[in-house]
Amino acid sequence: MKTNFMLLVLVSGVLLESMHAATKTVDQTATVISVESHETQYNSNYAGTNSSDFPLQSEIYHYDIAARVGSTIYRTSYDSALEFPPSVFAANRPIQVNLRKHVMYVTVPDEGEVRLSIENRSGIQSALRSGRR
């Protein structure tokens, strides 16, 4: 009985490890197509009536970043407390990305991975057609 239990534990461990290895994704090379900044947003939910009662507000800078991976263009969004995005987000610059379902992780030197929300993905041909209109 004890031997059967140990065999079951061993087989389960091997199966779990093989499933985990199958779900790992690989870094890919992408090219930044464009970076657009939007108006600064203020991170405050304060509903007071007197402006002197307002707490200090942190500014949030929003960027739309388009990147091409193979023949697919990913449109992503990035929010930062910094006025300028990391230098890797410059047009025509190659970057290392790790794609998940709705998220793109970008490797930023000296900072690690930056999480970008994928808002849209399209093939190069459809992106070119919509750009002509």
* DSSP annotation string for 30-77: EEEEEEEE---EEE-----SSGGGPPP-EEEEEEEEEEEETTEEEEEE
* pLDDT > 70? residue 41: no
118: enclosing H helix or E strand: strand 112-123
User: Does residue 104 contact residue 116 with C-beta atoms inside 8 Å?
Assistant: yes
Specify the amino acid at residue 5: F
Domain boundaries, the chain: 26-42+56-127
pLDDT value of residue 76: 94
Give residue-wise pLDDT tens across range 44-100: 555 555 555 556 666 788 999 999 999 999 999 988 888 888 888 999 999 999 999
Distance CA(53)–CA(48), nearest Å, equals 7
* pLDDT > 80? residue 123: yes
pTM of the model: 0.64
* pLDDT > 90? residue 30: yes
Q: Is 112 left (phi over 0), alpha (psi -120 to 50) or beta?
A: left
